[in-house]
Amino acid sequence: MKHHLHKSLITALTAIYLTLFCYGETPSETVTIPLIGDTAPSFKAISTRGTINFPEDYWDTWVILFSHPADFTPVCTTELMSFADLEYKFKELKCELIGLSEDGLNSHISWIKDIKEIKYKNKENANIDFPVIADFDMAVAKKFGMIQKNASNTKAVRAVFIIDRKHKIRTIFYYPESVGRNVQEILRTLIALQVNDQYTLSTPANWEPGDDVVIPTHQKKEDAISFFHSQNEDYYCPTWFFCLKKLPLEKVVKP
């Protein structure tokens, strides 16, 4: 009896060994991604602009944290140039940019220096004044779920987190390595979020600053229908559950 138990134990251990080491399969690591409405994870990190203590260094400001798979890559280069080109608009909205890559600080500095010499579309002499984190131990990337096994075990996907003044995550974008981000869309989303905070309004598909905005609808159908029939100059309703009002460009959020 003992002989059979001993043999069974050896068989079981052998199967585990083959699975883990010979077949290259290891227990999958759970990727934890902070969700919309969550408090953004705190971190301390070295960057091209010195040490970052988040959120302590970013009180009463919005933050856009975005990651790159690696330095000296073409798509990442165009993105950094695009963020640099629009940084002044983000600052006007009291929003700070923070980049991130798993490469080291010296690599970041060299890359930024090379970027300044590149001409791309209407962009040249790009000054990357915002910090780029040297996340060589992937500590920050893992906190934000940027390392995703089926994409890469060693590189962050193209993630974007829009974080508000209360350090709550308000929007998340994820892109694969091969697809460059639309920085104008990230800026548009930031403006839409701030409009929502200031006026308690929503923005329809493809909204741009100056377009009409969606006003809250009544929870009960009968109340919504009554509101629909009482519409006035301040708003208009294409149907009973969908009403809009004008929000002129000059009234769009001014932090």
Each residue's pLDDT tens digit, 62-92: 999 999 988 999 999 999 999 999 999 999 9
User: From the centroid of its chain, how far is CA 130?
Assistant: 16
Q: Mean pLDDT across the stretch 30-53?
A: 93
Each residue's pLDDT tens digit, 204-238: 999 999 999 998 887 777 766 777 777 677 888 88
d(CA 84, CA 33): 27
Would the pLDDT of 96 be above 90? Answer: yes
Sorted by where each begins, the domain ranges of the chain are: 1-29, 43-181, 200-251
Would the pLDDT of 161 be above 70? Answer: yes
Catalytic residue among 76, 95, 237, 243: 76
The DSSP string of 28-92 is PPPPP-PPTTSBPPPEEEEEBTEEEEETGGGTTSEEEEEE-S-SS-HHHHHHHHHHHHHHHHHHH
> Would you call 76 a catalytic residue per the annotation?
yes
Residue 86: the pLDDT is: 96
Confidence of residue 5 (pLDDT cuts 50, 70, 90): very low
What is the model's pTM? 0.83
The yes or no reply on domain 43-181 and CATH 1.10.10.10 is: no
Across the chain, mean pLDDT equals: 85
Residue 232: the pLDDT is: 72
Would the pLDDT of 150 be above 60? Answer: no
Q: What is the largest CA-CA distance in the chain?
A: 90
Q: Mean pLDDT across the stretch 102-108?
A: 94
Query: Class for domain 200-251, per CATH?
Result: alpha beta
Q: Give 1 or 122, the one with higher predicted confidence.
A: 122
